[in-house]
Structure 1
Amino acid sequence: MLGNEREKIRHLLVIQDLEGRRTVPLRETTYSLGRHPANTIVLASRSVSMQHAILLRVTVPETDQYGFQIIDGNYKGKGSTNGLFVNGNKCYSHNLRHGDVIAFGSNKAQAKYYAISNISEQVFSESFDVEDLSGFFSEQASPANPFQTLAIDPSFEAASESALARLASFPELIPNPIIEMDFEGTVTYLNPAAALKFPKLREVGTQHPILTGLLSGVNNVEKSSFVREVEVGTEVFEQSVLYLPQSDLIRTFIIRDITEQKQVTAELRQRDRLLQAVAEAANYLLGEMNFETGIDLALAVLGEAAQADRAYLFQNHLHPVTKELAVSLRFEWTRSFVTSTHQHWQNLPYQTSGLARWYTVLSSGNAISELTQKFPIAEQEFLIRDGIQSLLLVPLRLENEFWGYLGLADCTFERHWSRHEESTLLTMAASIISTQQRQQVEEKIRYQALHDVLTGLPNRLLFNELLSKTLPNATRKGESLAVIFLDLDRFKVINDTLGHTLGDQLLQNVAQRLKDSLRGGDTIARWGGDEFTILLPRVNDIQEVTQVAQRMLQALEDAFHLQGHELYVTASLGIALLDQNSPDAETLIQHADTALYYAKDKGRNNYQYYSVSLSAKNPELLTLEKSLRYALERDEFTVYYQPRVNIATGEITGMEALLRWQHPEMGLVAPSVFIPLAEESGLIIPIGEWVLRTACSQNKTWQDAGLQPMTIAVNLSLKQFRQPKLVEIIAEVLAQTGLEAHFLELEITETTAIEDLDFTRTVLENLQQMGIHISIDDFGTGHSSLSRLQLLPLHNLKIDKSFIQDLTRDVKVAHIIKAIVGLGQSLGLKLTAEGVENEEELEFLKSINCEDVQGFLFYRPLSAQKATEILESKQPTL
């Protein structure tokens, strides 16, 4: 103190910031300093925190004097951003002395502290600049020492720390609990708010959650203050702790009750966890090819995320015995300490098992979310048996039907399920149903891809797959197997005469009869059209195969009664056995097909086994194939012409060009022998063009000779017809030969026509625009129908000679021919019957109004010279 006289000490703070310099007399017990306008002392600088520091008045023990202590940070114990510096040294708290310079983060905001005596209240109250006080005191104070400073006793700092515990902010009136505790763990002070909130705090002491860990906590942190969260029962508080080692004091106050905030945060975290689980589960459901594996993984992710003890999937179904609606547990995930209850939840009828309420609630689209103790007694029995204390169920709906339900259960404690958990379960249910729907669609698509839509039998793809899987087993076991190729005889005639609807019904009935005639384990597939393939996987004796083949032929002997029709159908079968000549799937099918055509050549309605001799080419055929390559350039080909005759008038209405090969050594080679070789080698294209040019040139020669104009018909093979520049080639031939387009008729087979109907239509329309006539040759031998061929621009339909040959031997064939002629005429087509050889055939054709015929009854194929002579003889005499 100043001498022996008690003198009043005045405290000043001179502020220097961006707004200039100002002097603040310090009269209050507490000041807050910072950039925010709500502070007691506002500092104008961006480097200053919103609340940068606290200025506390502290009493000097055993005196009536006091000083000030400055503390870094705000009332909650949060430090400033840029720090507090006193006389250039960074500090967290400091007892101010006269002349101390305080920097708030930077030099742009500073303050200087003064403790001055011998200043009157009047002067102290006036607005003045502390730097001008020297002049004032030169007149009123001791000239020797006009600026008397406060001499602070060493005990002042300790006293000031003790005084700090009273935060000169009226703790008795603050609504927040404030507690003080010494370093011995004794509670030294409770404000009224603390006593009211924690009535047993003094009794419990450091065992109380508010004080637990404080003594150890203050020794493990660097700062003199920190903030922590404290749980008291179900409540959570944010607690600010300030400790002063010099004064043996820990002061804490409750900033706020954050129970609701913590609950919201926990719910948000749980929601995020559940959403992540849904996304992960969806990946499993989408990524796993196996539906069951995907469900197991999804339930595990869901159960873990929801922190449940069980996750279920139940599915509704008809009870296997009573046929009433029941439910069964299909998938279940449990924690390691929980016992599976899968066997308890199988085939439970809703009505008789006590679960009728579940069906009512869930089928209406609502969830079930309850503690076990609140369930009806009958339902509690199920849940208590499994140790379930709370249950959450949501419905699964598939195509608007109540398909089942998804559930979570807790066996650890009674749990109230949150809205996030219910929402997550519903989302998961939607993902599972979506996966189930996708699986059903995929199964349907796979079934359709592997089965024939009409008959329901496996198709070619599945048959090949089964055959490829069966072969290794047969080889490993030392067994054989058989592949049978079956083709219905003249089935297309039924389609053409009676329509595809009846034909499809007949195919379905045929397929069923054939299936019924097989052994258990045998497979029949629809190969296409009226062709079937049969796999006999276990063959120890060839007699077994023969018996199956005979049963299939016998199965077709009885009539089929469909739509008032009595229909008969036979079949031809080709059989190949697994052996050294047919060692793989491709060869087996190829050889069975070869044997099939051999069976047809044998008169149909029989079966034939494949043998090497059926497919081996003889040396003569190999020599012929080589010679064919030079036949065109050696002028070995010639064209013959067979007249087409009008039945009513007997006049020749056209000629058909027929290719012949005069081999220099073998003589005349039949077209049925060398034409397939030409097709196979590709030579048919240049050979066919030569025939076209030769025929057109001959027809033009006849016209130039004054003979009656007529059309010349030329056959186009499949490869000829498919060549890209066919139309241009034909136009060029017509231009070179001078023949008008309407005197040319091009013939294609049914097979050629329907291989690619859109392509065929485009080519034929182009040819029709040129004026060329189009004819379908050998009708009845392919797999088309008039209903399909009517889409093409056709002019003539030629009935295959195989029908004419059977005309007088089979009354059914006569009905077929009559139907073909009638249907063809209704479509505006001109009908020509091929292979007519006797008067009886001619009379029948005349009776059904068939216009034209070709055959040995009138003319055999003629050389150009002979044909010319015939045409000249038919010329009318003048």
Structure 2
Amino acid sequence: MQNGKLGFSEKAAPSQNTAGEIFCFHLLDSIPFPVFYLDRDLVFTQCNRAAAAALLHPVEEIIGRSLDEVVSGKEDIVREVREVRHTGEPLSALFASIRHGTPDGERQYQVSLLPDRGEDSLLRGILVVGEDITERKGVEKALRFRLELERIIMMISTNFIKLPSDEIDSGILDALRLIGEFARVDRSYVFLFREDGKIMDNTHEWCAEGVAPQIHRLKGIHADRDLPWFSRRIKGREIVHIPSVADLPPEARAEKEEFEREAIKSLITVPMVQGDTLIGFLGLDSVRAGKEWSEDSIALLRIVGEIFANALQRKRAEETIRFQTYHDLLTGLPNRTMLMDRLSLEIPQMQHSRKRIAVLLIGIDRFKNINDSLGHAVGDALLKDIAARLKTRIHEYDMVARMGGDEFMVLLPFIDYPEDVARAAEKIMDAFKDPFLLGAHTLHVTASIGISLYPEDGENAEVLVRNADIALYHAKSQGRNNYQFYNSSINVRTLERILLENRLRQTIEQGELEIRYQPQMEIKTKRIVGAEALVRWKHPDLGLLTPGRFIPLAEEAGLVISIDQWVLHRTCAQMKAWQQAGFPSFSISVNLSARQFQQKDLAETISRVLRENALSPESLGVEITESLAMQDTELTARNLRMLSAIGVRFSIDDFGTGYSSLSYLKKIPFHKLKIDKSFIINLAEDQDYQSIIRAIIDMAHGLKLKVVAEGVETEEQLSFLRTSHCDEIQGHFFSKPLSAEDFEKFVLAHT
């Protein structure tokens, strides 16, 4: 520069200047960033090629023209330059954007304005130096985008970590708004597949302002049928990216029609997967213009889709747990917990309204027989059908619940008169009039109902349910298939039986069962040849109870199999202990209940217990009653043949008290026959009983069965049995039932 000006003529060509000026000209032109000079009137006097390119004009069109003309439409730039001319102060942070008609589009520049003063300090012009910062701004923008993306992901993931399951739906809506606004789309949404994986529903949706929601109409969509092209891709776990719906291929005609019906111009969806299961997809769409989604945006959708899938999985798991807490899994009905909660909530309301609450406890008559004879699968199917019928017999504000086992309960609030409850009970009884069709089985089932009323029969939920239970027990004792209201005059014996049954459920866990062993003596040799294991219940209040006091209750309550199993295990364990202690070899027989005998795996159960105790099958005998043997002779014969095949010996108990037909003795391979004690007691006074006993003994020997006489209490009875060739005796004459310790002493004394 000379005198504060560039060292060549502003408008002269390089050929008209000195070598130094030409050098300066080329040096200026070679600078890769824009440089130009404005005189004090803001007219271009110098301009390099980079500046000309930035200003979108050839150099020759720029020199000599004013700034206003060259940068028309950029008033902000002109204003800043004029301010520098006015103040004479440099400006080094002017940013300018110039849109180019090239693939590069808009370029951004950072411009410095340097005032040029002469020796007289007067402003002669302004040197303008620019820097193309487009790439730097692009990097900064991408970085800001990435940071914002990560912030959104962090915000969403942190929110869902601490979000309660009942707020997950609202959390998804908040997250859809965040990603929708971030991606600058018109809608963001979630679709979930139903359990069959074929039908999908729009479950969550966010819409930008002015965009019509679609969630209300996008329900029950059959994906494979209605959107086959889209369905194949989403079920293939693909990201479906459609920048322009108008450009969809011909095979996506159905999708194009649906998207256009929703005014969608472009969309993108990512699959949502739980484990190996596709549960749905997360999507964004635009209804205003086509849109390309960046890899970062797709990554955002992937991550948010995973967050949603995990959150929904947690929600479903917690809902399942909550459902299981308050519902019966077999029938789907509310369970005891939920009913008790509801009843406790209703009672205060009835206090204010002066209304009654009715509690109806429904017991299915002889349900255990169905379960035992036809199997649990049929029993479960029956319970589900009963639940379905009961639901049709109540109003929407009533409640029916399964209390467990074969018991259901109906809760009727806002009752005015007991007669209303009676009508409701009759309506419930009507539900059992038609047979239940369960596969190949047609079942005619009845029910008994016990009813208690608030406030007459109790002022809290526990008392009301307990009194309904007492009333149900009374209904069953009246012949079943009826309903009974609770009243305080229900006899004490019924109440005692209920309390006894409730206590019986705890006997095994409480260690209240004991076994007594009654020796069996061979008459000829007077030696001990065996014993019968007899269960006793050591009741804490009633003392030692014989089986007649509690086994019928156990059968009604469905506990007899558990008792049988306990007796079997304890007897075998005790027998093994005696063998290891060197006691003489003998067998011990156990009594088998009807319920236990109806188990198809009876032989395997006994075989397993014998193996666990390392016992030979000959060590164990099984007794069944004559009446039990006659219940189903084919089933009995099959089970006994299986027992016989593994070496177990068995006897028929209480012979002479059952059916008159004796044909089952040929069908069933018994080893022993036990004469019922009722014959033995009367043989001294009645000659007919003596004749019957001799006939039984002769018949048994003819069938190659040994005979055991039960209930022998006198020398006279023993003498008769000896002369009648009876093989063995069992009774108080020889020994009463003994504890294991006393039995050991007895055996040692008679060895």
Of 580-589 and 823-832, deviating more is 823-832
Contact residue 495 and residue 502 of structure 1 kept, 8 A: yes
Decide whether aligned partners of structure 1 residues 437 and 518 sit closer, same or farther in structure 2, where only a CA change above 3 A counts.
same
Amino acid at match of 1:857: S
Deviation at 1:613, TM superposition (A): 3.8
2:411 paired residue number: 535
C-alpha RMSD of the superposition: 6.0
1:266 Cα deviation from its structure 2 partner: 1.7
State how far apart, in whole Å, the 2-side matches of 1:173 and 1:424 are.
45
Q: Name the counterpart of 1:232.
A: 98
SS of residue paired to 1:791: helix
* Distance in 1, Cα, partners of 2:438 & 2:81: 97
Q: 2:205 aligns with which of 314, 332, 347?
A: 332
The secondary structure found in structure 2 opposite 1:171 is helix
CA deviations on 1:659-699 (whole Å, 9 max, x unpaired) are: xxxxxxxxxxxxx899889979999989977xx6xx66x85
Match in the other structure for 2:138:
263
1:369–1:393 contact (8 Å) kept in structure 2: yes
2:367 to 491, 494, 509: 491
Taking a change above 3 Å as real, the CA distance of residues 307 and 572 of structure 1, as seen in their structure-2 partners, is same
* Deviation digits for residues 308-336 of structure 1 (CA, Å, limit 9, x no counterpart): 4543446799xxxxxxx99986543344x
SS of aligned partner of 1:604 = coil
Q: Which runs of 5+ in 1 are unaligned?
A: 1-57, 65-162, 318-324, 622-671, 721-745, 808-812
Tell me which residue corresponds to 1:571: 447
How has the CA–CA distance of structure 1 residues 268 and 830 changed in structure 2, closer, same or farther, with 3 Å as cutoff? Answer: farther
TM-fit CA distance, 1:500: 3.7
Question: Residue type of the partner of 1:367?
Answer: V
* Equivalence for 1:213: 80
1:274 equivalent among 149, 153, 157? 149
1:815 maps to 2:613: no
Aligned pair partner of 1:175 in 17, 20, 32: 32
Q: Give secondary structure in 1 for the equivalent of 2:678.
A: coil
Larger helix percent: 2
User: Following the alignment from structure 2 to structure 1, what is the Cα–Cα distance between the partners of residues 116 and 538?
Assistant: 106
Q: CA 1:284–1:193 in structure 2 vs 1: closer, same or farther (change >3 Å)?
A: closer
2:11 — aligned with what? Answer: none
CA positional deviation for 1:230: 3.5
User: Which position in structure 2 is the counterpart of 1:826?
Assistant: 642
Larger Rg: 1
Note closer, same or farther for the CA distance 1:263–1:374 as it changes in structure 2 (3 Å cut).
farther
Task: Give the match for residue 857 of structure 1.
Answer: 678
After TM superposition, give the deviation of residue 273 of structure 1 in Å.
2.0
1:235 Cα deviation after fit: 0.7
For residues 144-188 of structure 1, give each alpha carbon's deviation from its aligned partner in whole angstroms, at most 9, with x where no partner exists: xxxxxxxxxxxxxxxxxxx9xx99993243232123457886656
Q: Distance in 2 between matches of 1:760 and 1:419?
A: 71
Aligned partner of 1:770 in structure 2 is 577
Is 1:779 aligned to 2:566, yes or no?
A: no
- TM-superposed CA distance for 1:844, in Å, is 7.9
1:203 has 2:80 as partner:
no
1:361-372 map, 5 Å: 365=238, 367-370=240-243
The change in CA–CA distance for 1:280 and 1:408 in structure 2 (over 3 A counts) is: farther
- C-alpha distance 357-603 of structure 1, shift in aligned 2 (>3 A): closer
Q: Conserved in 1, the CA contact under 8 Å of 2:38 and 2:127?
A: yes
Q: Deviations over 1:343-380 (max 9, x none)?
A: 895679999xx999877987885635446888999999
TM-score of the two chains, using structure 2 as the length reference: 0.62
Q: Say if 1:616 and 1:789 are closer, same or farther in 2 by CA, change over 3 A.
A: farther
CA distance in 1 between partners of 2:345 and 2:633 (Å): 45
Of the candidates 303, 309, 317, which is equivalent to residue 180 of structure 2? 303
State the SS of the aligned residue for 1:603. Answer: coil
Local SS of the residue matching 2:360 = strand
Range that drifts further, 170-179 or 489-498 = 489-498
The 1:168/1:868 distance shift into structure 2, 3 A limit, reads farther
Instruction: Tell me, yes or no, if the aligned pair for 1:480 and 1:539 is still in contact at 8 Å.
Output: yes
Give the deviation of 1:494 after TM superposition: 3.6
**Contact 2:560–2:595 (Cα < 8 Å) also in 1:** no
Per the TM alignment, residue 531 of structure 1 is displaced from its structure 2 partner at its CA by 3.1
Deviations 1:619-644, CA, capped at 9 Å, x for gaps = 9x9xxxxxxxxxxxxxxxxxxxxxxx
Deviation at residue 832 of structure 1 after TM alignment = 6.5
Task: Look up the SS of the partner of 1:170 in the other structure.
Answer: helix
Contact 1:450 1:462 in 2 (8 A): yes
Aligned to 1:407: 284
Are the equivalent residues in 2 in contact too, given 1:396–1:433 (CA < 8 A)?
Answer: no
Distance 1:688-1:428 versus aligned 2 partners, 3 A rule = closer
Change in 2 beyond 3 A, CA 1:212/1:59: same
Contact 2:54 2:98 in 1 (8 A): no
- CA distance in structure 1 between the aligned counterparts of 2:88 and 2:229, rounded to whole angstroms: 59
1:711 paired residue among 514, 519, 531: 531
Mapped pair 1:582 → 2:458: yes
Residue 194 of structure 1: aligned partner:
51
Structure 1 pair 859/563, CA: closer, same or farther in 2 (3 Å)? farther
Q: 1:546 aligns with which of 415, 422, 428?
A: 422
Q: What is the rounded CA distance, in whole Å, between the counterparts of 2:651 and 2:235 in structure 1? A: 69
Aligned to 1:108: none
**Aligned twin of 2:267:** 392
Superposition deviation, residue 401 in structure 1: 7.2
Report the CA distance shift for 1:598/1:356 in structure 2 as closer, same or farther (over 3 A).
Answer: closer
Aligned length in residues: 614
1:542-691 equivalent positions in 2, closer than 5 A: 542-553=418-429, 555-556=431-432, 567-614=443-490
- Paired with 2:531 and 2:228, the residues of 1 have a C-alpha distance of 84
CA distance in 1, matches of 2:278, 2:537: 58
Query: What is the alpha-carbon distance in structure 2 between the residues aligned to residue 609 and residue 463 of structure 1?
Result: 20
Cα pair distance change 1:212/1:674, threshold 3 Å: closer
In the alignment, the residues of structure 1 paired with residue 261 and residue 434 of structure 2 have an alpha-carbon distance, to the nearest angstrom, of 63
Distance 1:381 1:597, change over 3 A: closer
Shift of 1:493: 3.1
User: SS at 1:574's partner residue?
Assistant: strand
Deviation by residue 1:1-49 (Cα, 9 ceiling, x = unmatched): xxxxxxxxxxxxxxxxxxxxxxxxxxxxxxxxxxxxxxxxxxxxxxxxx
Percent of pairs with identical residues = 24
How much has 1:430 moved relative to structure 2? 4.8
Question: Which residue number corresponds to residue 791 of structure 1?
Answer: 605
Relative to 1, partners in 2 of residues 1:787 and 1:491: Cα closer, same or farther, differing over 3 Å?
Answer: farther
SS of the equivalent of 2:425 reads: helix
Change (3 A) 1:476 1:708: same
Q: 1:314 to 1:700 in 2, by over 3 A?
A: closer
C-alpha change, 1:272 and 1:472, in structure 2 (3 Å) is: farther
Task: Please tell me whether the aligned partners of residues 230 and 239 of structure 1 are also in contact (alpha carbons under 8 angstroms).
Answer: yes
Q: 1:270 to 1:535 in 2, by over 3 A?
A: same
Question: Structure 1 residues 278 and 618, CA, compared in 2 at 3 Å: closer, same or farther?
Answer: closer
Aligned residue identity for 1:770? A
3-state SS, counterpart of residue 605 of structure 1: coil
Q: State the TM-score, normalizing by the size of structure 1.
A: 0.54
> Residues 501 and 553 of structure 2 are in contact (CA less than 8 Å); yes or no, is this contact kept in structure 1?
no
- 1:762, 1:440 → 2: CA distance? 43
The within-5 A match list for 1:513-524 is 513-515=389-391, 522-524=398-400
Displacement of 1:848 = 6.3
Show the counterpart of 1:733.
Answer: none
